[in-house]
A and B are shown apart, each in its own frame.
Chain A
Amino acid sequence: MKYLDEYRDGALARRIAAEIASISTRPWVLMEICGGQTHTIMRYGIDELLARNVELVHGPGCPVCVTPLETIDKAVALALRPGVILVSYGDMLRVPGSQLDLFRAKAQGADVRIAYSPTEAIKIAHANPDRQVVFLAIGFETTAPANAMAAWDAKRQGLTNFSMLVSHVLVPPAIRSLLSSPHNRIQGFIAPGHVCTIVGYEEYEEISREFRMPMVVGGFEPVDLLEAILMLVRQLEASKACVENQYVRAVSRAGNRVAQRVVNEVFEVADQKWRGIGGIPASGLRFRSEYAAFDANLIFDLAPIATEEPAECISAQVLQGLRKPTDCSAFTTRCTPETPLGAPMVSAEGACAAYYHYRRHNLVALEESK
């Protein structure tokens, strides 16, 4: 596939890794923000390739993992109501709520359907005029324009049986929160490539200046990530701190203005709770008042839900890059993808799940060598 295969070239990837090793005078600690990037790193073993020179710490860029527990519970509660069709992206189906996840709700008779695109939810609403269709609209800035378009379509088409349960998160406030922590060890960031196709990287330049932090906007294939890491290490070795763009084929500094306008028309910035981290001011999106008719939070009478995460789960520290999944006493024993204790084990993009699926054998080998 064009623009994909070329960036999976094994020989080129190894050469970039060798170059990184040859220019590093000391080990560096870098964070990749995006869950999709974590997935590539784990799947292709990029962390293993760079083990001696770069420590890759995985950030909270997994909207599935950080969707608040309350939102899952609300989605489950709505799904279980007769007359409601709950439509969701596939990733969300196994995220555990306080009692159930959407998959188990389906087993109990809820009408839960998977959609690849929010346009499918609109189609379902048209096809089922006597039912209430609720779309669980989650994501980072990358998904916000598509989710916004769904609301825009619904408004234009005069749909009266369609609403969205919105849980959107924004990356820059999360980065600021991480970098403001006294425990921060991150020395450079791989900025999320697809988020930046939408929003550009001007805001990242502000963060880079404020915290003297090197940042490179990176893509999602092995060559992209290795190139971004190489660019970061070159900055660090030269004591530079600025924003560079590795993902030039898809990202421009200004981003996609049309997409930004669509988001601004439908949503506004709001405070947001991040599962495993807590509340971060101005880090989320909610519907503007003009779109109140599509806000599931307002349409449905949903009882407030109090939630508590298990004490053993260290996801807060994993999501902030302070500890690795392998540091956790419950990892692979009490906490597995089938029985997750916390958010990062839930989604395939979560750091704990990625470690479990792709790296468990390193633990096994460690055990065997004891």
Chain B
Amino acid sequence: MCLAIPGKVLEINELQGLRAGKVQFAAITRAVRLDLVPEAVVGDYVLVHVGFAISCIDEQEARRTYEILREMGVWEGELPPAEEPPPEHSAP
């Protein structure tokens, strides 16, 4: 019922009291409203539904999904590498 996909926040701006930003999904970017996730910062991943970020994606918790599976004996692989922090200069 709820198509929401994860994307990376590239920039944030406040225009006339509206919190918005550019979010990147694979190789496309789109303007996304960030009013519902005041805690999100550039570099965070957010879940986007109908043009609004509805939640931040917690990297630690995401890894926990794999931990749970490992504990259940279902998964023995390596955890995907944690993402590099964004460089100091602004994103393209």
Contacts and interface: CB of A to CB of B under 8 A. Distances in A.
Contact of A3 (B6, B52, B64, B72): B6
A259 B37 CA distance: 8
Interface string A245-258: 01011110000101
A4 B6 contact: yes
Contacts of B50: 89, 116-118, 143, 146
Q: How large is the interface on A (under 10, 10 to 19, 20 to 34, 35 or more residues)?
A: 35 or more
A149 B37 CA distance: 13
B20 to A, nearest CB: 9
Contacts of B64: 248-249
B91 interface: no
B45 A2 contact: yes
Given A36-B2, A116-B51, A256 B65 contact: no
B45 A4 contact: no
B41 interface: no
Contact of B2 (A15, A118, A142, A149): A142
Contacts, number: 134
B36 A256 contact: yes
Contact of B1 (A116, A195, A256): A195
Interface string B2-27: 11111010000000011000000110
Interface string A27-66: 0000001111000000000000000000000000111000
A102 to B, nearest CB: 18
A340 interface: no
B74 A16 contact: yes
Interface in A204-246: 220, 223-224, 227, 230, 246
A62 B1 CA distance: 5
A33 B3 CA distance: 14
A192 interface: yes
A165 interface: no
A153 interface: yes
B77 to A, nearest CB: 8
Contact of A19 (B33, B65, B73): B73
Nearest to B46: A250
Contacts of A224: 65
A114 interface: no
Contacts of B37: 256, 258
Contacts of A246: 65, 68
Contact of A118 (B17, B51, B83): B51
B54 A142 contact: yes
A172 to B, nearest CB: 14
Interface string B37-76: 1100000010101111011011101101100110011110
Contacts of A156: 17
B83 A192 contact: no
Contacts of A143: 2, 49-50
B58 A249 contact: yes
B80 A6 contact: yes
Interface string A189-201: 0001111011000
A277 interface: no
Nearest to A18: B74
Contact of B47 (A116, A119, A149, A197): A197
Contacts of A96: none
Contacts of B25: 1
B80 A194 contact: no
Given A117-B51, A194-B47, A248-B61, A15 B1 contact: no
A195 B1 CA distance: 9
A129 to B, nearest CB: 18
22 contacts: A1-B5, A1-B26, A2-B8, A2-B83, A3-B62, A4-B6, A7-B65, A16-B69, A33-B1, A36-B2, A117-B52, A119-B51, A142-B49, A143-B49, A146-B36, A194-B47, A197-B4, A197-B55, A248-B64, A256-B54, A258-B35, A258-B37
Given A146-B51, A262-B36, 7 more contacts: A2-B6, A12-B74, A36-B2, A145-B36, A194-B2, A194-B4, A250-B55
Which are the 5 A-B pairs with shortest beta-carbon distances? A117-B51, A194-B2, A142-B2, A3-B6, A249-B62
